A and B are shown apart, each in its own frame.
Chain A
Amino acid sequence: MTLRSKGRWINWFGLLLLAGVYVRAIAFTPVEASQGGAQKIFYLHVPAAWSTMLAMGLVGLASILYLLMKDERFDRFAACSAEVGTAFACVMLTTGPLWARPVWGTWWTWDARLTLTLFLFFLFVGYQLLRGAVAEPGARARYSAVLGIFGLLLLPFIHLSVYLFRTLHPQPIVLKPSAPSLPGAMLVTLLYGFATFTVLYVGFVVQRYAIATEDAHVG
C-alpha cells in the first residue's frame, strides 16, 4: 500500500469518526442550560483549534529541525502541515463566531485571544504565499522555516492570552493545571472530538506529504 493510500484510509476513518462526533454531540450529550444548542459548537470548535495549534506547532518544530539538519523532508513536512493547519483554522474561525453570536451577542471582538488566533491564520496563509513566491528550493525552505518558527513562538501567547488579558473568550477547561471542569458526558464528547481531529490531521498530512514527495520526484 502506498503512503498516499494509507493517508486516504486514515482520512476516511477520521471522517467516520467525525460522523460519530456529530451523532454523539447532538443526540447523546446534554444541552447546556444557559447557552442552549449553540454550546454544541464547542465539540467542533475546540478540537479544530487543537488541530490548528498542533499543525502550527509541528510546522515550527520541523522548521527548527530543517535549519539544524538541512534535510528537505522536514521542510516538506512543514509545508504540508501548514496547508492542513489552514484548513483546520478555517473550521476554527467559522465555528467560533457562530458560537459567539448567540452567547456573547457579537460575531467578533478584537480581544487578545481572537486577534492572535486570526493573526496565526494570516501567518499560515502568508507562509504558503511565501513558498509560492520563492522559486529556489533552498532559499524557499530557509525563509519559510524562519516564518514557521515565528508561528511556533505565537502559540504560547495564544494559549496564555486568556490569562494575560481581559477577554470575552473563556479560559481553558481541559488544558489547565487543575482537573477538567466539565461534566463527564461533555468531557467524553470533547475528548472524542480531540481524537477525531487528530486522526483527521494525520490522514490529511500523510496524503499531502505523499503528494509533495511525488512532486519532488517529478520536478
Chain B
Amino acid sequence: MWADGTPATGGYAVAAYVIAAAILLTYTFMLYRRGPKAP
C-alpha cells in the first residue's frame, strides 16, 4: 500500500507487460525466420 492508499500492485503489471512483449516479439521473429517449406 502506497502512502496515498493506492494498492502496491505494479509488479503484476510489470510481469504482464514483459510477458506480452515476449509473446509478440517471439511470434514476430518466428514469422521473420520462417521460410517456405521444402518441396
Contacts and interface: CB of A to CB of B under 8 A. Distances in A.
A37 B23 contact: no
B12 A38 contact: yes
Interface in B1-39: 2, 5-13, 15-17, 19-21, 23-25, 27-28, 31-32, 34-39
Chain A contact-residue range equals 35 or more
Nearest to A94: B19
Does more than half of chain B's interface fall in helix, strand or loop, or is it mixed?
Answer: helix
Interface stretch (A152-160, A161-169, A184-192, A210-218): A210-218
Contacts of A103: 9
A45 interface: yes
Does more than half of chain A's interface fall in helix, strand or loop, or is it mixed?
Answer: helix
A36 interface: yes
B15 to A, nearest CB: 5
Given A11-B28, A15-B28, A90 B12 contact: no
Interface of B: 2, 5-13, 15-17, 19-21, 23-25, 27-28, 31-32, 34-39
